[in-house]
Structure formats: structure tokens, C-alpha cells
Amino acid sequence: MSSLAELREGYERFDPCAYLRNNYLPPRADFSSEEFVVPWKLRCLADTFASGEIRGQTLIDVGSGPTIYQLLSACDHFEEIVATDYLAVNREELGRWVRGDPGAFDWSPFIQHVCKIEGRGEPWQDKERRLRDRLRRILPIDVHRPDPLGAPLDPPADALLSAFCLEAVSPDRAAFARALLHVGSLLRPGGHALLLGALGESFYLAGPARLPVVPLALADVRAALAGAGLALRELRSYEMPPALRTGVDDVHGVFFAHAQKPPQGH
């Protein structure tokens, strides 16, 4: 059983570059087949946004880390994207990409893949520019606080996205469910929540950091969504193939959940 103190100490040693190398370069960032994990994640998001049902002024991404892949389909449907993370080093890494600084992580293979699967023939540089234009706020966040941003989001977000955050920062399932309840407060009634996360994972590495993760089953995700008052629309899962079990974590699978906060007065 990990503790919040162990988690906070672990995150003080979190190395964004190592994290990016472990998860967003080959072999995990292999775009050659939809069988691989990154195309699967991007497909879940592209398919969900393709209907056009999920749109509005603001989408907030909870626990963005140093990554932007999770925002590539979302950015076509919201005027503003708000990225958030607990660590300044991750917020700074995101800022480097937004500004196009030399040395920022190269997300172009991800942008090219998303443009391909969205099938509109959009030049990838157009999508890159659109996300950079719309990613206007990069805020500190702590999902263990009832008010994760320190103050309510005004107006509340029209949609919430979170990838591999809640289970990677919670010592146990109860804390995971509480964190989901906390972040759900950032979402307006009727707003959509999209979650990607790890199944059956107990740790992951990010350079000198070894972070504990609460191992989740799909039933735990369902229960936490229900506990947060979010009505499940879709739940998909992916089994990590042996070739992608590289030792940087002990993840067994990935889930994708689409849920919706009931409209006002329900």
C-alpha cells in the first residue's frame, strides 16, 4: 500500500524526458498497426470526437504531464484547451512544445497519425498550429483537493479529459474514486468526461522516480464513475501485448471511458 507521502516524494524525482522516452517513442510509439497501444489510444479519441457531439468552449485536461497526444482530436471541437499538471517540470515541458522551442519533444508522428485516421486530408501542420493556438492555459492542479485548481473553473469546463493520471497518483481505489469526484466538479452539468488509464498496473518508472500505481480492473473504473455521478456511455479496454511490456512499468492493459455528467436538475 503506497502513501500520499510516498507519491509526493516519487513525483519530486519524476523526469519528464525519461517518461516521454519510456512511453512515447518506439516500441510503444509504433504507428504501423492499430494493434499497437498508441494507435489504439488515438483511435478511441478520434472515434469519440468524430460524431461532433462533444464540443464547446473549454476542455480541461487533468494531469496532462509532458504530453499533448491526448488533445489532438479534442482541439478541433473546443475554443480553448486548458492543460494541467501537478509538477512545474511538466508544465514547462508543455510550454516548450506550445512555443515551438528547439529541444521540445517531437509530437509530429502522433499528429500525422491522427490526421490520417481522421481522414479529412488535413495537413498535420494545420492541426499542430490549431492545438498550439487553442492550448492557452497550463495550470497547476492537485486532484486530491476537493477544488483541484484551487478555485472553481469559471465557467465550468464543457468537457474533461484525463489520461493515465488518477490511478497513477492515488494510493488506493478509494483515493482514485475521490480524485474522480474532485475533478468531476470542474465539469458542467451535461458535460462529457473522457478517461484513458492503466489496468492492473502497480508501478511505473520515470528516470530516477519509481511511482506506485493503484492496480485497477474495469469494475473499479465503472464503480468510480458511478460514485462520481458520471453516467457511462462507453468503456473499452486494450490488452498490452508482450512486446510492449518493456519493464518501464507492469501495466497489463489500458481502458478508455466516455461518461457524461447528467444535465442540470437530474
Ligand X SMILES: C[S@@+](CC[C@H](N)C(=O)[O-])C[C@H]1O[C@@H](n2cnc3c(N)ncnc32)[C@H](O)[C@@H]1O
Ligand Y SMILES: O=[N+]([O-])c1ccc2c(c1)CN[C@@H](CO)C2
Annotated binding site: 19, 24, 63-64, 69, 85, 90, 142-143
Q: Which of ligand X, ligand Y, none binds 201 (CB below 5-8 Å, type-dependent)?
A: ligand Y
Q: Which of ligand Y, ligand X, none binds 255 (CB below 5-8 Å, type-dependent)?
A: none
Q: What are the two backbone dihedrals, phi and then psi, of residue 53, each rounded to the nearest 5 degrees?
A: -65, -35
Q: Which of ligand Y, ligand X, none binds 64 (CB below 5-8 Å, type-dependent)?
A: ligand X
Q: Contact 175/167 with Cβ under 8 angstroms?
A: no
What minimum distance in Å lies between the beta carbon of 245 and ligand Y? 9
| Sequence-ordered list of residues with C-beta below 8 angstroms from that of 183, at least 6 positions apart, any chain | 62, 143, 148, 160, 162, 166
Binding residue (CB under 6 A) for ligand Y from 7, 11, 16, 37: 37
What minimum distance in Å lies between the beta carbon of 180 and ligand Y? 15
Binding residue (CB under 6 A) for ligand X from 18, 50, 87, 248: 87
Q: Which of ligand X, ligand Y, none binds 116 (CB below 5-8 Å, type-dependent)?
A: none
Residues touching ligand Y, count (CB under 6 A): 12
Distance CA 199, CA 166 (A): 12
Going from the C-alpha of 148 to that of each of 86, 122, 186, the distances in angstroms are 10, 36, 8
Annotate each residue in 174-213 with x if it binds ligand Y (CB under 6 A) or - if it does not, as one string: ------------------------x--x--x--------x
b/e code 109-119 from CB counts within 10 Å (16+ = b): bbbebbbbbbe
Q: Which residues are annotated as a binding site for S-adenosyl-L-methionine?
A: 19, 24, 63-64, 69, 85, 90, 142-143
CA-nearest of 176, 158, 156 to 166 is: 176
Alpha helices in 76-217 (DSSP H): 88-99, 108-118, 124-134, 173-184
Interface with ligand X by CB under 6 A: which residues?
11, 14, 63-65, 67, 70, 85-87, 90, 141-144, 163-165, 168-169
